[in-house]
Structure formats: C-alpha cells, structure tokens
Chains A and B, each alone.
Chain A
C-alpha cells in the first residue's frame, strides 16, 4: 500500500466525513494514539452506512459487523486539528462487503485501511445475503481506483 496510493485524495472517495482530533486522542508519545485512528475510521464507516452513504436504508433486516480491519499507519498527527475520512466500497460480495478508507489531516494522507463487513441478520445473528437493492446501491459507492497491496 505505498506507491499506488500516491495521488489519491479525499475527493476520490464517494463518502467523505469530518471529525475533530480530541485532546484525549493523544498518548504520551505526543501524537494521536492508534485507537483514535480506529475511531475516525469507524466514524467514516458509519457515515457511509447511515447519513452520507445511506446503505442502511437498503438493508434494514440486519447489522453490518466488522470481521477484518487492517490499518496502515503512514504519518503521525497532532493536536489541535481536524481529520477528513474518505470511505468507499472496494468489493461487493453475497453476504459481505470490502470497504476501503483513508484518513487525511491538513491534506496529507495519514492512514489507510481496508476492512470486511459482514451482513448479520437481526434475529439469526448469522451472516445473511445482502438484499438486491442494497447490492445495487453499493455498486454506486464503489471507488474507481485500485490500490495494490
């Protein structure tokens, strides 16, 4: 996830979310702690599922649960500041989706993430096929770039 990420900006993501770096996000090393990055990525995913991406409107019988979450930390961040999170779909499967996200701060990419979300039935608590209308909607939220690695 290095060379092929150069040139990719926030505008390349179909869903864009903004968050604030909190003082409590810092650790004794003086930079934003890794768990705060996970919070920003989650804010991006939730915005993608609800307000911004409206995926949940097309998939009302279940939850999206995170089963795999990989983060590549590229640059440190400090307080005060804001973060911009870009989120998009990389892969649409039968019962799961591959999501790709990036965190930007002062226009610089600070971290990249790829994750797998499984669609879990509200009652069954097991993976279930995504409704057709959700599959169609997810296609509109795909990223057009193909980062390698």
Chain B
C-alpha cells in the first residue's frame, strides 16, 4: 500500500530501535547533520539483522550484508536534545540482495524516509552470493508492506 510520509507511524514497521541524539550530531545550521541521519539508519538496519537469528546464519557461513544503494529523503529537521526512533522493515527479498524501508521519527513526527539495498557478500571472495535458504523465512517475518 502507498502511504504519504506524513501519515507514517513507527508501528507500520516490524523493527524499532531508539538512539539518543548527541550534541555532536548537530552542525552549524543548528540541526542534526545529514551524516548523523545515515548513522541512525544504519543502527536500525544492523539492529534488525543482529536482533534475529539471521546474524548467526551469516556468521556461520562467512557472509556479510553490505550496503549497495541508499536513498534518503529528508522531510523534517531533527534537533538536539531528544531521542530518535528508528523504524525498519524488509520490502523486497531478492536472490542475493534485500531492500529495506526505513523511517526516522522524533516525538511521533517523521523526519526521514529511506530505502536501502543490501547485497550479501561472501567474506572470502568479497563478491555477491545467494541468500541461504534457511534465512528466507526469517527475513519474510520482518516484511513491511508499504510504499512511501
């Protein structure tokens, strides 16, 4: 289903995590710098993988998800102090890659939406490799049924 970013809420997504906005995340314009948004989004992606058994499978098989594409839409400023809520879900499961849909919220207001394409890399060859069959059902449980 298609949803405008103004209508997004945290519970639209299967995985949630929170980060404290640090003073050093801000820049000379007085708001949180774009690079910090990137770090919050990464916390969400890494959290989704690490909080589930997916990580165990990847570690046992010498596999690592790496970021291939990141599209960020900055829809509102974030300001210090406070917390940022990071919402993440999987929107596509491919052969050797997955796509995650993400959003950042502060006090319920959406500040950023993002789409991330992650490719599974074999740590020995540093090349892409198909997703192990065992992780597909785990990834399926973390789906987000949204288009922003």
Contact = CB atoms under 8 A, between A and B. Distances in A.
Contact of B68 (A31, A35, A73): A73
Contact of A70 (B33, B39, B70, B75): B70
Interface residues of A, number: 19
Contacts of B67: 34, 73
Interface in A1-55: 29, 31, 33-35, 38-39, 42
Contacts, number: 52
Contacts of A76: 66, 126
Contact of A38 (B34, B123, B126): B34
A66 B34 contact: yes
A68 interface: yes
Interface string B50-77: 0000000000000010111111111100
Contacts of A67: 73-75
Interface in B66-103: 66-75
Contacts of A71: 69-71
A46 to B, nearest CB: 10
Interface in A44-83: 63, 65-73, 76
A85 to B, nearest CB: 14
B38 interface: yes
A127 to B, nearest CB: 13
Contacts of A39: 35
Contact of B74 (A33, A34, A42, A66): A66
B71 A70 contact: yes
Given A66-B74, A67-B75, A76-B66, 18 more contacts: A29-B123, A33-B42, A34-B67, A38-B35, A39-B35, A42-B34, A63-B29, A67-B73, A68-B72, A68-B73, A69-B34, A69-B72, A71-B69, A72-B68, A73-B67, A73-B68, A73-B69, A76-B126
